[in-house]
Structure 1
Amino acid sequence: MSEFGAQPIDLSANINPFGVPEAVRAAMHRAVDECAHYPDPFCRAARQAVAEAEGIPADMVYCGNGAADVLDRLAAVLRPKRVLLTAPTFAEYERTLTGAEIDFHMLRESEDFAVTERLLSDISSKYDAVYLCNPNNPTGRTAQPELMRRIVQKCAENSVYLIVDECFNDFLLDAEQHSLSGLLEAFPCLILLRAYTKMFAVPGVRFGWCMTADRTVIDGLYRAGQPWNVSVIAQACAEAAAKQNGWRDQTARRIAEERAYLIDGLRSCGVRVYPGEANFLLFHSSDEKLDEKLRKQGIMIRNCSNYRGLGPGFYRAAVKTRDASEKLLHALRQIQEI
C-alpha cells in the first residue's frame, strides 16, 4: 500500500476529474426504464441535440458506440488503400486501417511535436485519406487554425478525405477557434470525430459521433455494422450532455489553471514538459523506470515509449485536481531523493 492509501491515483486516463454533471447523471437514470425497448438505431433525439449544439444539420451526424466504433466503421466505408498519419499520435487510427499502406509524417521533438507547414508538402493525390488528431494525443498540441484550414483546402484539391479527431477539443479555452465544424458544408472531404467520453467522465457509457457533409459516407456508416450499436442509456446521456455548455466552459477554465500549475511543478522536478493545451501533458524524464516507481507509490501515469515517434523516458500525465497534482509532484521529488 502506498502512503496515499489503497486507492491509486490514476493519471494515466484523460478523464474529466470533476465527474459527471448532475443533469447527465439524472438523464441516464431516467433512461433505465426504457431499457425494456430496443434503442433507436438512428439515435434521432441524440443526433438532433448534437447537431443543434454544433450548428449543423442532423443528417450530417452519425452516432456510434464510442469514437472507436466510428473509426472502425469509417475504415470499412472509406476502404483507403494509402493513408497518411502523423506520429506520434493515437494508435487506434493505425489499428483500424487493416490492409492499407500507411505513411507517417513524423512530428519533431525539436518543434515540440507541433504540426507545422511541413505537413502540407506531404499531402497529395496518392493518398485516399489523412488522419489528424487536434488536440493531438499524446502531445496535447493543437495545430494553428489557419494551418488547419490550409490542410483542409489541400486535401480537397487532391480529393483526399481528411479525418480530424477533435475528441479533446472541449478542454481547450478557445475550443470554437480550433474546431473545423464551420468548414463541413464547404468541404465534403472533411470528417470530424467527437465523443463525450472524456469531458463528461463516461468512458463506460460509450458514445461518439462523426460529422461530414458527405451523405454517402453517413449512409455507409449505418450499413457498416449492426443497427443497435448505441444503447438507450448512451443516447440519453448524449442528449443531455449536448446541452451542457456551461459544464464544458467551466471545466476548460479549471483545467487550464491546473495545467499551468502542473507544468511549473514538473519543470521544477527537472523533467522536460512539452507545451500541451488539453487535459494531459507529455513530458520526458531521464528515468526510464519512472512509471514503475510511481506505481509503487500509488500513482499511475502513461508510459509512452510504445508510441511511434517516441521512446523510453516519455510519459503522459492527465491534468486533474490540485490534490492529485501535488501528490504526483511530491512522489517525483521523493524518487529523486532516493
Structure 2
Amino acid sequence: MHGGDIYRNSIRTDFSVNINPLGMPSEVQWVLTEAVLHANKYPDIYHERLVEETANLFNAPNENIVYGNGASEIIMAICHSISPKKVLLLAPCFSGYETCVKGACQDCSISYHTLSEDNDFEIHHDILEHIQVEKADLMFLTNPNNPNGRLISKSLLDEIVISCEKAGTVLVVDECFLALTGKDMENSLAYDITKHKSLIVLRAYTKTFAIPGVRIGYCICADKLMASSLKNHLPEWNLSIFAQMAGAECLKHKEYLLDSAKLIEKERSYLTQGLANLGAKVFSSDANYILFRCADSELDKKVLKHSILIRECSDYNGLEKGFYRVAVKSHEDNEKLLSALEDLLND
C-alpha cells in the first residue's frame, strides 16, 4: 500500500516516498536532539502549544484542531467517528482511505468516481453530479491528488464543498502535500474553514519537513463538535515529546517551504522531461511526485538492481501494472534515477 520499504530491500536512493528533497531543517534536527532530555516526562496530553500555534497560523479556533500520530491515525479516527454507511472515493487516489474505511466500518459501501487517464487523471466538474447522485456520508479528496499530483482548482474545490454540504456528505480534503506545490495560500481550504459546515482539512509534517519517522499530523474541522468527536477516537498521549517539539519548530519555517517549492518545481520539470525522453507516458503534476507509465511491468523490480526503489502503483484502484510513481528529489539523485532507467529501458 505504501512506498518506503527500505527494510526488506537494499536501497541507496528511495524514490518511492515523496520526502522534501531539501531534507529536515537543521533547527528541527536540533530540537529533536534536545527532546531526548525531556523523554523522562509525559508529553502534554492536550498538545496545547502546538494547537495554539496552529490555530494562529490558520486563524481557526483552538477547539477545532485535532493532532494525531501522523495523518493516518486521524484518517482512521475520522472513519470511526463518522461511522459512514457509504463513502465516495476517487479512482485512482491514496489507497490508505479505503484501508481505513474497510477496517473501521464493516457495513460500509464504497463508491468510486473514476478519473480518466486521457485527462491526466484530473478532477473535473462531473464530480459535482456524482456527489449529488451518491449522497455519501463521507468523501475523501487529496489536493494535489495522489498518485498523479494534479491540483484541484480553488473554484472547483469551493463548488465541491458546497455540493457535499447539499448532499449531507462530510468532506475530508487531504492537503498533506499542498505546501510543497508553492500554491498553498491560494489553494488551501484550511484558512477559511469556519465558513463551512461539514469540512475537515487534513495536513501533516511527514513529507513536508522530511520527518516521516517522527509521525505527526493534524486536521482542522469546520465544526468544534466534529473535532471533539474525533478526539474521543484517539488514544491518550498519542503525540510523543519528540513529535510535539519538532512540530512546534516546523511551524516557524515558512521560508524553508518556499525554497522547497522552488527546488521541486525546477527538478520536477527536469525529471518529467527526462522520463518522457525515455519513452514513458508522463502525467502532468503540480506536486513533488510524478506518475508515469511504461511498457515494462517489472521496472520496479529491475531498478532495485541499482539500489533504487520506485513506487509500483497497481494497488491504486483504477491503475494497473506498468504505472509507477517517483518522488522529485535532488538533482544528483534525479540524474541517478534517469541514468538507471535509461540502462534498463534501452536493454
Query: Aligning the two structures, in what range does the TM-score lie when normalised by the shorter sequence?
Result: over 0.9
Count of residue pairs brought into register by the alignment: 333
Equivalence map 1:44-55=2 (5 Å): 44-55=48-59
Q: Which whole-Å deviations, capped at 9, do the CAs of 1:271-314 have from their partners, x for residues lacking one?
A: 01000111000000011111111111221110111211000110
Indicate the residue corresponding to 1:110 in structure 2: 118
1:42 matched to 2:46? The reply is: yes
Report 1:274-293 matches (<5 A).
274-293=283-302
SS of residue in 2 equivalent to 1:185: helix
Whole-Å Cα distance in 2 between the matches of residues 68 and 122 of structure 1? 26
CA distance in 1, matches of 2:38, 2:222: 32
Aligned to 2:191: 182
Query: Does the alignment pair 1:56 with 2:57?
Result: no
Alpha-carbon offset, residue 126 of structure 1: 2.8
Instruction: State the partner residue of 2:95.
Output: 91
User: Matches of 2:178 and 2:267 in 1, distance apart?
Assistant: 17
Please name the residue that 2:109 is paired with. 101
User: CA separation in 2, counterparts of 1:22 and 1:333?
Assistant: 35
Corresponding position: 1:258 with 2:250: no
- For residues 142-170 of structure 1, the C-alpha deviation after alignment (integer angstroms, 9 at most, x for no partner) is 11110000000111122211000000001
Name 1:14's counterpart in structure 2.
18
Matches within 5 A, 1:237-276: 237-276=246-285
Say yes or no: does 1:315 pair with 2:321.
Answer: no
Partner of 2:72: 68
Which among 199, 202, 206 is matched to residue 215 of structure 2? 206
Are 1:169 and 1:175, in contact at CA under 8 Å, matched by a contact in 2? yes
| Runs of 4+ residues over 3 Å off in structure 1 | none
Native 8 Å contact 1:130 1:163 kept in 2: yes
Q: Is the 8 A contact 1:60 1:215 kept in 2?
A: yes
Cα distance in 1 between the residues matched to 2:251 and 2:58: 9
Alignment of 1:117-132 (within 5 A): 117-124=125-132, 126-132=135-141
User: Hey, what's the Cα distance between the residues in 2 that align with 1:54 and 1:29?
Assistant: 28
Q: Which residue, out of 174, 177, 201, partners 1:165?
A: 174
Q: Which amino acid aligns with 1:113?
A: F
Over the aligned positions, Cα root-mean-square deviation in angstroms equals 1.2
For residue 329 of structure 2, what is the amino acid of its counterpart? K
Give the TM-score normalised by structure 2: 0.93
Q: Which moved more, 1:84-93 or 1:51-60?
A: 51-60
Match of 1:3 in 2: none
Query: Counterpart of 2:160?
Result: 151
Distance 1:73 1:224 in 2: 5
CA distance in 2, matches of 1:336, 1:233: 43
The superposition leaves residues 152-198 of structure 1 with CA deviations (integer Å, 9 ceiling, x where unpaired) of 01111222110000000011122211111133111121100000000
- 1:329 correspondence with 2:338: yes
Please give the secondary structure, in 2, of the residue aligned with 1:36.
coil
Give unpaired runs (5+ residues) of structure 1.
1-5
| C-alpha contact 2:271 2:328 (8 A) present in aligned 1 | yes
SS at match of 2:222: coil
| CA deviation string 1:93-129 (max 9, x = no partner) | 1111132111000011011100111100011273111
Task: Judge conservation of contact 1:49–1:243 (CA < 8 Å) in 2.
Answer: no
Contact 2:135/2:168 (8 A) holds in 1: no
